[in-house]
Amino acid sequence: MTFKPLVLLAALSAALLIAGCQKSSDATNKPAPKPPEVGVVTVSAQDAPLELELPGRLSAGQVAEIRPQVSGIVQRRLFTEGSLVKAGQPLYQIDAASFEAERARAAAALQKAEAQAANAKARAARDAELLQSGIVTRQAGDDSAAALRQAEAEVAVARANLDAARVQLARTRIEAPISGRVDLSTVTPGALVTANQTQALTTVQQLDPMQVDIVQSSAELLALRRQLEGRSGSNQLQIVLEDGTVYPLPGQLQVSGVAVDRGTGAVTLRASVPNPKGQLLPGMVVTAKLLAGIDAGAILVPQQGVSRSPTGEATALVVGADNKAERRRLKLERAVGNQWLVTAGLKVGDKLIVEGLQRARPNQPVTPVPAGSTPKKKGDAKPAGGAASAASAPKA
């Protein structure tokens, strides 16, 4: 009777031992998991544009501040504010009565001087004949010749006074010195204006073409010159407006400043942009994209394949020998669109992992497939290691 519990306990222990052995055998025979699939792109050399994006401000191609050159009362304003005017078009009319009188006085003085000169000329000719006959003395002949020269000088003075009076009279009609769009008028008919006054009557601005003043630091200018050594650049630039739209007509880089501003350490670049429809206005802030040249044989890789370490170092995973993932440290120069320009850390032919970064681990096997051939899984868009987004700028 005492042996039955012992027999039952031994039987139960044997059954549990047999079941445990079967489970261990099943676990040992289970196949190893397949290496995770990752999307890769093959690194290749290609041409990369050297572009600069710099802030700029628009200004008129030519600006003329209209000021009176004579004093008087404004009689009429001869233009519509905000309209287009042509060079030589009348803008204001100043009361010309006093200037007309001065012109008439100068014309009369000229007539008087010319009459006196004609009389002196006749007398000098007559005395010259009488001198040859010995009727008059040589002194008398010299006096008449000197009187003629004096009369001719007085004619020249009177003629100059008449020209000056005509100029002053013409200045009572103020004309546009250049073609462009005229601004608001600061005076109305009946206002008294003075010659060369400080306040301008109005302003005429030439809006086609426009100018873009671009400020670039001297350090960036030196870096650009180093990049352009041995490369062919372009003086064309593209204008991006404040709302993000791209202006359809390209500009032309004309001149760069010859000195560095002591306060800001910057150099001003100036470009000309056509403005036939008047879309661009003076004072607008724009972004100028300058295509400075082409970097031939550059290595460009998708930004989603590059991540940042906690210290800010750029890294990437590539498929190495035996299809194992390898971590590479990269040196990035700049962004080109949605790609990074890599100067160190990758070479042509490397297989860069751009998809499935969350499933890949350094020194672990992976199954490489062409990027885009497999559907993305949750979390694939986030770069491995962490911290930086594709839009972050390369650390200098």
pLDDT digits (tens, 9 = 90+) for 280-290: 888 899 988 87
Enumerate residues 6+ apart whose C-beta is below 8 A from 43: 299, 301, 346, 347, 348, 349, 350, 351, 352
Whether the per-residue pLDDT at 385 is higher than 70: the answer is no
Q: What is the pLDDT of residue 270?
A: 84
Burial environment of residue 196 by CB neighbours within 10 A (0 to 12, 13 to 18, 19 or more):
exposed
- Strand-pair partners of 369: 39
User: What's the CA gap between 133 and 249, in Å, rounded?
Assistant: 85
CA angle 63, 67, 68 (to 5 degrees): 150
Mean pLDDT of 289-307: 81
Token pair 């991006």 in the structure block, residue: 240
Nearest to 83 by CA among 180, 176, 178: 180
With 0-12 CB in 10 A as exposed, 13-18 as middle and 19+ as buried, what is 54? middle
Beta strand spans in the chain (E): 37-42, 45-66, 72-77, 84-85, 90-94, 173-175, 180-182, 192-193, 202-217, 236-240, 251-256, 266-273, 285-302, 307-308, 314-319, 325-329, 331-336, 339-344, 351-355, 367-370
Question: Per mean pLDDT, which of 104-108, 246-250, 316-320, 356-360 is the most reliable?
Answer: 104-108
Please, which pLDDT band fits residue 277 given cuts at 50, 70 and 90? confident
How, if at all, do strands 307-308 and 325-329 pair?
unpaired
What is the rounded distance in angstroms from the CA atom of residue 106 to the CA atom of residue 154?
A: 12
CA dist., res. 83 & res. 184, Å (int)? 10
Q: Quick one: pLDDT band at residue 3, thresholds 50, 70, 90?
A: very low
Instruction: Say how far apart CA 271 and CA 32 lie, in whole Å.
Output: 65
Paired strand residues for 77 = 92
Q: How confident is the model at residue 1 (pLDDT cuts 50, 70, 90)?
A: very low
What is the structure's pLDDT at 92?
A: 97
Is residue 18 very low, low, confident or very high in pLDDT (cuts 50, 70, 90)? low
| pLDDT at residue 188 is higher than 90 | yes
The residues facing 310 across adjacent strands are none
* Alpha-carbon span 282 to 61, nearest angstrom: 9
- In this predicted structure, what is the pLDDT of residue 389? 41
The answer, yes or no, to whether residue 21 has pLDDT greater than 60, is no
* Res. 16 pLDDT band, cuts 50 70 90: low
pLDDT (tens digit, 9 = 90+) per residue, 345-382? 898 989 998 988 888 888 888 888 888 775 555 545 44
Pairing of strands 325-329, 173-175: unpaired
* pLDDT of the residue at 256: 59
- The mean of the pLDDT values for the chain is 81
More confident residue, 378 or 391: 378
Q: What is the C-alpha to C-alpha distance for residues 138 and 133, in angstroms, rounded to an integer?
A: 11
* Position 233 confidence tier, pLDDT thresholds 50, 70, 90: low
- Look at residue 17 in the predicted model and tell me its pLDDT: 59
What's residue 387's pLDDT?
A: 38
Average pLDDT over residues 24-44: 73
Q: pLDDT by residue (tens digit) across 108-126?
A: 999 999 999 999 888 888 8
Give the per-residue pLDDT at 393: 43
Q: Which of 314, 321, 320, 317 is nearest to 343 (CA)?
A: 314
Task: Give the percent of the chain with pLDDT over 90.
Answer: 34
- Residue 386 confidence class, pLDDT cut points 50, 70, 90: very low
Report d(CA 146, CA 280) in Å as an integer.
67
pLDDT over threshold 80, residue 48 = no
Q: Which two tokens stand for residue 36?
A: 């995770």
pLDDT tens digits, 142-152: 788 898 899 99
